[in-house]
Structure 1
Amino acid sequence: MTAILAVRDLHVAIGRRGHAANVLRGASVDVEPGEVRGLVGESGAGKSMLGRAILGLLPANAVITAGTIAFEGRDLLAMPEPERRKLLGRRIALIPQDPMTSLNPVRRVGAQIAAVLSHHLGLSKRQARARAGELLAEVAIREPGRVLDLYPHEISGGMRQRVLIAMAFACNPSLIIADEPTTALDVTVQRQVLQLVERLRQSHGAAILFVTHDLGVVAKICRTMTVLHAGRVLEDGMTADVLARPRHPYTRALLAATPRADRPAEALRPVPPALIESLWSEAHRLDRLADAGLPS
């Protein structure tokens, strides 16, 4: 099957105090149509930066120095900016991490969803509001007509996340970048949101790149997974295979550090500092080779 998203050998650097710090070092990821791929790793691994690069939302001081990002067979990096922007929200959507900072606090919920529909689908104000109500009902928000007229601070965190999910699926995109969408939620609400995302994925047929540091979430909803550290892909494959037979020491260390409900008495083992040090040493070695123009 042809991948709907194909990231190849992507390098991203961030300028800082007169020099560049590499945050992605030759990362490659495929997402097939309709699948959920987990992108996992500890904080600072480069997960969110990879998602931002796909969306074209890198910080102002970040630059892509090498690689390609192909979406539906077209290289996003070679696409004119106005054309690429038309894809965002329409064909490629984002479920961000923090709903409180992602929603406009001075605009009503319904107006924010309607703005997406009007901009991308050309719906009239009345049509957009009606469709916004339908979307809220689709994400299991009670009394959607009432919620449309509320401000973000007047609804719970779980409801705000559902609003963002409704906005992401509003235009039936073929790819969604979900950037740790359950991090700010309690365990019960997290489970509800994961079930909701999976139900919507099946009904809409969208592919999802699910960015997370939680291997438990990956095990529940991701068919495939990619393990990232220091901007490098260390392991990639079917989720069941990677979790049952991890090949890389870092993946094995992450699994050993993950609490298991089926083995509550088992002691957790932190990722060994020596392993982290060796991974960073290898990353810096690759940086030096790249700076010298030598192959890795």
Structure 2
Amino acid sequence: MSAILEIDNLHVAIGAANVLRGVSLRVEAGEVRGLVGESGAGKSMVGRTIFGLLPSRAKITAGRVSFEGRDLLAMPGKQRRELLGRRIALIPQDPMTSLNPVRRISTQMVAVLQLHLKLSKRAARGRAVELLTEVAIRDPERVLDCYPHELSGGMRQRVLIAMAFACDPSLVIADEPTTALDVTVQRQVLQLVERMRRRHGAAILFVTHDLGVVAKICRSMTVLHAGRVLEDGLTADVLVKPHHAYTRALLAATPRADRPADALKPVPPALIESLWAEAHRLDQLAAARPT
């Protein structure tokens, strides 16, 4: 398989704080790779770097992000914007804050289709109806004329999934798309994302803190902590025989439907302290190297 996305030794700092420390990963064409870690691990920062949406104080201090063989970080802004939304798409975490609350769904979907596919307004609306039907929304014509607050959380997320796949992207960044949903709707959304991936032939970088989600849909996975990659490999191998103590601790802290009587074991504080100490030691070594 050929890599659609390659991140090599990516370092990002915000002021004096390092938030990504030498992150490297590959997403093969057509695969789903999970990017896993606790809150603050740096997962969403990886996606923000790909999309050029880093905070104003953030600075990329080293590394390369390559999409289909082209370095995104070295690409002129206009050329990069042409890729984003069309060849690289995003399913954001919170559908309520990601959709414009004062614009109808039709206005937002039509704008995406007209911008990237150069369709007429009428043709774009017709395509929007097709996309909403594809994500199993009943009465798509009515939904198009709704405002976001008139839809349930699950329906809003389906709209965002439809928008993400609207231009047949090669890569979709799914940034914890099930976090704001209840368990039943989460399952439906995961099935929908997988169905859309197969239909459109896209690769997915699935950002999540939920190892259960990774086990269901991800072929491979990368485990982050403090902006560092601690483990990387095929999901089946990592979950059955994890090499790093942090990965083993995450697994022990995950509820298991097949072992409901087992007590959950929180990640040991001593392990977290040692991981942060190692991260700070690496920061000091990097700062001491001559530039």
* TM-score class, shorter: over 0.9
1:56-80 residue CA offsets vs partner (Å, 9 max, x unmatched):
1111111110000000001101111
Detail structure 1 runs of 4+ shifted over 2 Å in the superposition. none
User: SS at the partner of 1:77?
Assistant: coil
1:176-230 residue CA offsets vs partner (Å, 9 max, x unmatched):
0000000000000000000000000000000000000000000000000000000
1:90-110 residue CA offsets vs partner (Å, 9 max, x unmatched):
100000000000000010001
Q: Which residue of 1 aligns with 2:287?
A: 291
Q: Which residue of 1 aligns with 2:63?
A: 67
Q: Which residue of 1 aligns with 2:207?
A: 211
Q: 1:28 aligns with which of 21, 24, 29?
A: 24
Write the distance in 2 (CA, Å) between the matches of 1:87 and 1:293. Answer: 36
Q: 2:117 aligns with which of 121, 129, 132?
A: 121
1:3-56 residue CA offsets vs partner (Å, 9 max, x unmatched):
1000000000012xxxx2100000001000000000000000000001110111
Write the distance in 2 (CA, Å) between the matches of 1:61 and 1:107. Answer: 31
Write the distance in 2 (CA, Å) between the matches of 1:240 and 1:110. Answer: 41
Write the distance in 1 (CA, Å) between the matches of 2:162 and 2:124. Answer: 13
The answer to whether structure 1 residue 180 and structure 2 residue 176 are counterparts is: yes
Amino acid of the structure 1 residue aligned with 2:9:
D
Aligned residue runs from structure 1 range 148-159, under 5 A = 148-159=144-155
Pairwise CA RMSD of aligned residues? 0.9
Distance 1:294 1:261, change over 3 A: farther
User: SS at the partner of 2:110?
Assistant: helix
Shift of 1:2: 2.0
Write the distance in 2 (CA, Å) between the matches of 1:57 and 1:229. Answer: 21
The answer to whether structure 1 residue 250 and structure 2 residue 215 are counterparts is: no
Aligned residue runs from structure 1 range 80-119, under 5 A = 80-119=76-115
The answer to whether structure 1 residue 147 and structure 2 residue 143 are counterparts is: yes
1:207-263 residue CA offsets vs partner (Å, 9 max, x unmatched):
000000000000000000000000000000000000000000000000000000000
Q: Which residue of 1 aligns with 2:161?
A: 165
Q: Which residue of 2 aligns with 1:7?
A: 7
1:154-183 residue CA offsets vs partner (Å, 9 max, x unmatched):
000000000000000000000000000000
Write the distance in 2 (CA, Å) between the matches of 1:257 and 1:206. Answer: 32
Write the distance in 1 (CA, Å) between the matches of 2:134 and 2:115. Answer: 21
Write the distance in 1 (CA, Å) between the matches of 2:170 and 2:196. Answer: 12
1:110-149 residue CA offsets vs partner (Å, 9 max, x unmatched):
1101100000000000000110011000000000011000
Write the distance in 2 (CA, Å) between the matches of 1:8 and 1:166. Answer: 30
User: SS at the partner of 1:219?
Assistant: helix
8 A contact 1:110–1:133 mirrored in 2? no
Write the distance in 1 (CA, Å) between the matches of 2:96 and 2:290. Answer: 45
User: SS at the partner of 1:70?
Assistant: strand
The answer to whether structure 1 residue 56 and structure 2 residue 56 are counterparts is: no
TM-score, normalising length: structure 2: 0.99
Shift of 1:294: 6.4
Write the distance in 1 (CA, Å) between the matches of 2:104 and 2:210. Answer: 32
Q: 2:236 aligns with which of 229, 235, 240?
A: 240
User: SS at the partner of 1:104?
Assistant: coil
8 A contact 1:108–1:151 mirrored in 2? yes
Q: 1:278 aligns with which of 274, 284, 288?
A: 274
TM-score, normalising length: structure 1: 0.97
Unpaired segments of 5 or more residues in structure 1?
A: none
Write the distance in 2 (CA, Å) between the matches of 1:293 and 1:132. Answer: 53
Provide the aligned length of Structure 1 versus Structure 2. Answer: 291
